[in-house]
Amino acid sequence: MNYFKTALLLAALTAFFLVVGYALGGRNGLVIALVVALGTNLFAYWNSDSLVLRMSNAREVGPQEAPELYGIVQDLSQRAGLPMPRVYVIDEDQPNAFATGRSPEHAAVAVNTGLLRHLSREEVAGVLSHELGHVKNHDTLTMTVAATLSGAIGMLATFGGLFGGGRDENGRPLVNPIVAIAAMILAPLAATLVQMAISRSREFEADRAGAEISGHPEWLASALARLHAGTQAIPNATAEANPATAHLYIDNPLSGGGMASLFSTHPPMEERIARLQAMAGSMPPSNASASRLRAGGSVPQTGGRGPWG
């Protein structure tokens, strides 16, 4: 079913390409947009995870560079019945994290150094279980493709507006300038709406799956409360520079409220926490696998260098 949703997403964003291309360049623009869309779709499927990680300035770490972080991901992956994903760290003080990859066999999880600095070991495990929930639900392909194509739509609209819509043999504009301006504004907005529709429902499902993986919904509930306070107070320069990746994160990394909150790609944090707290009262005690995650107390308070890499 998730692959079918991915196909629908690709079709929808391809249609956006064609509409923007025609609005900005007439028939020639339509042909160019079609070629670009086909190439972008192929690139997004095979390389969107690598692109997102590069856009986020993520660096891969292993058991030598980040033994505790790597060990938590390894324990949770075994508990979830998933292949071990690649582990990345992003040098940003905002506490946040995301998962990417076209399949569980090609998955990666990336955490900000701020997550390791500000959250306890149990809360970090709760966040990572959420991200592995995305992997288990096969969400990462659709969400990563959405990030890649939405960014491409924004660039297409911007460049099209800058270079104009083209002219006919008599030197007259092929497209009304008002239409071109409208395309520049509406195309990225439409892409954002698609991201919202994809991400909001999947965050709830990943919360549930993550709580089941860790065996402790209260770990994730506590982490979400700490994360939300952190994302409101601490800017994320990397995400601000690449807003098309915002829906990948466990909490919206972009600053701003008011009208911006109406277009948030994430569901209300209060509702997410309430659902997890309700789960905590109904789940049976966790097994020894989750107990191992509790060993060691809190996550060491580290900066960009230290046991987390």
Among 92, 131, 203, 218, the one annotated catalytic? 131
Measured distance between the N- and C-terminal CA atoms of the chain, rounded to whole angstroms: 37
How many Å apart are CA 230 and CA 92, to the nearest integer? 12
161 and 180 in contact (C-beta within 8 Å)? yes
How many Å apart are CA 196 and CA 199, to the nearest integer? 5
Q: How would you class 227 by CB atoms within 10 Å of its CB: exposed for 0-12, middle for 13-18, buried for 19 or more?
A: buried
Residue 92 annotated as catalytic:
no
Q: Give strand pairing partners of 86.
A: 108
Residues that are catalytic: 131
